[in-house]
Each structure stands twice: as structure tokens, then as C-alpha cells.
């Protein structure tokens, strides 16, 4: 095989790899978009807490560098995960 043919074969192989990478990037973008759409669908609810519980959660959220809403969502998520493990 001549050097030129080797280079052509190498270039073709690289082009194929590049195309696979582009396809993988497209798949990742699609999955990210689907996840973003799902997250936008978060439900809102009214939650009544005692002032003492609110203060405890606020303190905990501050320690974890989260908002109070983020902390409540984190706690609920952990509880659901723990329940599923049973």
C-alpha cells in the first residue's frame, strides 16, 4: 500500500470516528433536552410547616448551601429512595 493510500484510509477511518462522535453528541443533546423538559414540569404545592420545623430546615439548608425549597426537595427525594430500597 502506498503512503497516499495509507493516508486516505487513515483519513476515512478518522472521518467515520468523527461521525460517530457527532451522533453521540446529538444523542446526548436529545437526552439533555428531554431531561430539561421533564424538570420544567415540576409541580407546585402549598406546604404548611411549623415555625420551628421551618427554622430547622432553613438552618440545615444553609449548612448544605441549598435554598429551603432545594433542601425540602432533597429530603423528599432521599426519603423516596430509601423507601424504594426496602
Q: Taking the domains of the chain in order of start, what are their residue ranges?
A: 1-42, 44-86
Cell of 84: 424504594
How much of the chain is helix, strand and coil, in % rounded to 5? 80, 0, 20
With contact defined as beta carbons under 8 Å apart, do 49 and 57 qualify?
yes
**Residue 54 burial (CB count, 10 A):** 13
pLDDT in tens, 64-77: 999 999 999 999 99
**Architecture of the domain spanning 44-86:** Orthogonal Bundle (1.10)
pTM over cut 0.85:
no
pLDDT tens-digit readout, 6-47: 899 999 999 999 999 999 999 999 999 888 888 787 788 899
Report residue 61's pLDDT band, with 50, 70 and 90 as the boundaries: very high
Please tell me the predicted confidence (pLDDT) of residue 49. Answer: 95
At 50, is the secondary structure helix, strand, or coil? Answer: coil
Cβ atoms 30, 22 nearer than 8 A: no
Amino acid at each position: 500500500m502506498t503512503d497516499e493510500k495509507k493516508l486516505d484510509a487513515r483519513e476515512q477511518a478518522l472521518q467515520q470516528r468523527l461521525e460517530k462522535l457527532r451522533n453521540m453528541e446529538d444523542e446526548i443533546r436529545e437526552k439533555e433536552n428531554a431531561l430539561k423538559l421533564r424538570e420544567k414540569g415540576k409541580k407546585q404545592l402549598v406546604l404548611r410547616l411549623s415555625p420551628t420545623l421551618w427554622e430547622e430546615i432553613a438552618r440545615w439548608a444553609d449548612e448544605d448551601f441549598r435554598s429551603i425549597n432545594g433542601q425540602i426537595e432533597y429530603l423528599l427525594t432521599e426519603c423516596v429512595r430509601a423507601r424504594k430500597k426496602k
